[in-house]
Amino acid sequence: MLPELRELLPRLRQARRDLIEASGRVTAKVAADGGGVAEPSWFQAQQQMKTDLTRLADAGILLRDPEIGLVDFPTTRDGERVYLCWRLGEDTIGFFHGERAGMSGRRPL
């Protein structure tokens, strides 16, 4: 999955940024004239995010931080539920953390 994630996560991050920017433009235009605003880029970004988030969910991958490309893979280790933790830019999945710990609780595999 890592090769696919290396493509999907930057695309998802950009779609999120595009959606935020388009939302700001829509809000400003509505405030200025009170009417509806056609903003195709908002719909395109929203659709891209939906597609990519659905792909992650279907694969059982949890998106933790879209800006840094942080994802978790739920699994069991030594009878305990843990998350394999991977961040965009890392070569391999080399860390895990418990259910209640976040990235700061990452430990090497």
Q: Are 87 and 80 in contact (CB under 8 A)?
A: no
62 Cβ neighbours under 8 A, 6+ residues apart: 56, 71, 72, 73, 74, 83
Let me know whether 51 and 79 are in one domain. no
Higher-confidence position of 49 and 105 = 49
Let me know whether 2 and 46 are in one domain. yes
Let me know whether 32 and 82 are in one domain. no
Let me know whether 70 and 23 are in one domain. no
Band the pLDDT of 33: cuts 50, 70, 90. Answer: confident
Let me know whether 76 and 34 are in one domain. no
For residue 35, what pLDDT is reported?
Answer: 65
Query: Does 34 score more than 80 pLDDT?
Result: no
Last residue of a domain, one of 27, 42, 59: 59
Let me know whether 50 and 91 are in one domain. no
7 Cβ neighbours under 8 A, 6+ residues apart: none
pLDDT tens by residue, 50-108: 999 999 999 999 999 999 999 999 999 889 999 999 999 999 999 999 988 877 889 99
Band the pLDDT of 36: cuts 50, 70, 90. Answer: low
Let me know whether 103 and 84 are in one domain. yes
Residue range of the domain that includes 92: 62-109
Let me know whether 54 and 82 are in one domain. no
Higher-confidence position of 74 and 27 = 74
Count of domains forming the chain = 2
